[in-house]
Chains A and B, each alone.
Chain A
Amino acid sequence: MVSSRLKVLEEVLRIKRVRYGIFILLSLAILSIFVILFSPFEYDRISPRVHLPPLAGSDTSWPHILGTDNLGRDVFTRTFYAFALDLGCALAVVILSGSIGLAIGIASSYLGGVIDAVLMRIMDIVISIPGFMLAIAIAAVLGSSIFNAIIAIAIVTIPVYARLVRSVVLSVKESLFVLAAKEAGLSDLYIVVKHVLPHVIPTFITQASMELSNAIIYIAALSFVGLGAQEPVPEWGLMISSARRYVREAWWTAVFPGLVMFLTVLSFNLIGDGLRDYLDPKKRTVIGVQVETS
């Protein structure tokens, strides 16, 4: 088992997109850890030296690599603190909505009948409302905080997993090896855990990696409109939001958080995209060439 898993990892890493994605992500993560551990600046320390341009000198051993913002805080430090924060929040969103969506998908497909119909209609309702609008509504009702923003985004993204899992389970459920397991006298729960779930996991993980980038954008967007993180929390959306008034004088306060966010989202999309191609035999690439099968 171990050797076959290693082999899968090796094959996945051979995909260029996945390699680039992981490279970008790791570089950003290392930078972020480095900043959190060693930066002489605090993310929330206000100073009178406002709107200093990038690489301006400071009273510490480090220059202000990406300049300072309107309150004299170091943009470089804040941007990479925000990397850790946003990534953590995105992970929380994905874990929350993923596990609930997985449970709903399995329950719906395995129990069928009325339960299936009710659960799926609820998912349809959630999906029929534009995601960001619904997230704003929920976050507004719950109150502005990063924690509530996570809950709002998780609720909005549950249907994606629920529908995906349901469709995979429905097809796996009909396979002969599930019938054979039933014939052996195994319980439904055992069959779900041992026979059905392993076939759901790969698709699920791919979707989750794509959803991570979505979650980052959602969190930043909610913070941008004032329903997520609040000052002085270092968060990309919030940083861009407070910088927008001074973009003409101090472009670096908005551009660099945006750029790092863009790179993070891009890396997750690259990884997710590569994983999807790897798992979908119809889209398998042969030596980098897309093979058309349909």
Chain B
Amino acid sequence: MNSDVIVKTVNLKKYYEIRSKYLKRVIGYVKAVNGVDLEIKRGETLGLVGESGSGKTTLGLVLAKLVKPTDGKYFLKGIDITYSLPKNLRGKIRIVFQDPYSALNPRLKIVDTLIEPLLAQGVDKENAKEKVAKYLKLVGLSEEYLESYPHMLSGGQRQRIMIARALVTEPEFVILDEPTSMLDVSTQAQIIELLKKIKNEKNLTYLFITHNLAVARYLSDTIAIMFSGQIVEIADKKTIFSNPLHPYTKTLLSAYPSPDPSSTWSPEIPEDIDNNTLIYNQGCSYAGRCPLRKDLCLKTSPELIEVENNHKVRCHIYKDRT
């Protein structure tokens, strides 16, 4: 394994138990994250794209160490941190949440919110305040905001605060969980530019979780498509857009309107067949919707296979091509 891989997961799983109503017996599992293998290199931005309920946020929470995985391994810089985080790595993984409106405690001043991660690491209050002021400038806010309360700030300003809060511990890996989806379009652009600028300045590694392909395309180096808790396709962004292989990726891309006004938009909308019969089955999780479904797809789940250099896809169709 080469040394510049900073984040690596092996077969990472997070299952939530479904319990019966009265006896609370386990009657099944929601496989929110179902065997994810990722490798993110230092300085790379991995865009994680998927529909609602595909498990991308759960994956983000597992990677942020906020949710314990059910199974699998998680390495940061080659150190196994699946179950515990060594002291010297605390604050090296941070997350920016989707909703900046509820992520800030309305009763705390901005400065108090910002110094918390530093206090947690044992930095004394005065030093923490100095450091925080520096980071506030980095995200483009002036020092006077330190004394204000969250309700005095706009959504964009709040998200800048959350970004500063993530950066104060000098992280190496930052998880961005749809950081712009709650903001209006003009603010989105500013936040994305800011994230890009900071990344280059601080040599950060990002996992950018989004359902917006345009944003993912702009910010990411590599794009992973997630469906039903699994990575179904992963490749660098040019390849994904020019040569999508997985039927789900194709559907996603066709649903993405072209900015050219003269082109007519005719997305492929596959017919959704009865998914319930498939949920607990052995087959491919996408088989229910797949327009190219074969008998094999209902029986066995495909593996993630490398079709071209650094282009992996989880689909039976490409089995013979390797």
Q: Which residues of A contact B (CB under 8 A)?
A: 1, 4, 175-177, 179-187, 190, 194-195, 198-199
B contacts with A: majority SS: loop
Asked whether B316 is an interface residue with its Cβ less than 8 Å from the other chain, the reply is no
Q: State whether the Cβ of B105 lies closer than 8 Å to any Cβ in chain A.
A: yes
Question: Distance (Å) between the CB of B62 and the closest chain A CB?
Answer: 13
Interface residues as binary, B75-118 with A (CB distance below 8 Å gives 1, 0 otherwise): 00000000000000011001101010011110111000000110
**Please, which residues of chain B bring their CB within 8 A of the CB of A185?**
90-91, 117, 120-121
Minimum CB distance partner of A178 in chain B:
B105
Which of A1, A180, A186 makes the CB contact (< 8 A) with B103? A180
Q: Can you identify 26 A-B contacts, CB atoms within 8 angstroms?
A: A4-B149, A176-B102, A176-B103, A177-B102, A177-B105, A180-B103, A180-B104, A180-B162, A180-B165, A181-B105, A181-B116, A182-B66, A183-B64, A184-B116, A184-B117, A184-B120, A185-B90, A185-B91, A185-B121, A186-B119, A186-B120, A187-B120, A194-B108, A195-B108, A198-B107, A199-B107
Whether A184 contacts B165 by the Cβ 8 Å rule is yes
Residues of chain A contacted by B103 (CB below 8 angstroms)? 176-177, 179-180
Known: A181-B105, A198-B107. 13 other contacts (CB 8 A): A4-B149, A175-B102, A176-B97, A176-B102, A176-B103, A177-B102, A180-B162, A183-B64, A183-B94, A184-B165, A185-B90, A186-B120, A195-B108
CA distance A46 to B149 in the complex (A): 62
Complexed CA–CA distance, A194 and B107 (Å)? 9
Interface size on B, residues (CB 8 A): 23
Contact between B104 and A179, CB atoms less than 8 A apart: no
Interface centre among A181, A184, A186, A187 (most CB of B within 10 A): A184
Q: How far is the CB of A96 from chain B (nearest CB, A)?
A: 27
Chain B: minimal CB distance from A2 (Å): 12
Residues of B within 8 A of A194 (CB): 108
Cα of A179 to Cα of B95 in the assembled complex, Å: 11
Closest to B120 in A: A185
Given A176-B103, A177-B105, A180-B103, decide whether A186 and B97 contact each other with a Cβ distance below 8 A.
no
Residues of B contacting A199 in the complex (Cβ-Cβ under 8 angstroms)? 107
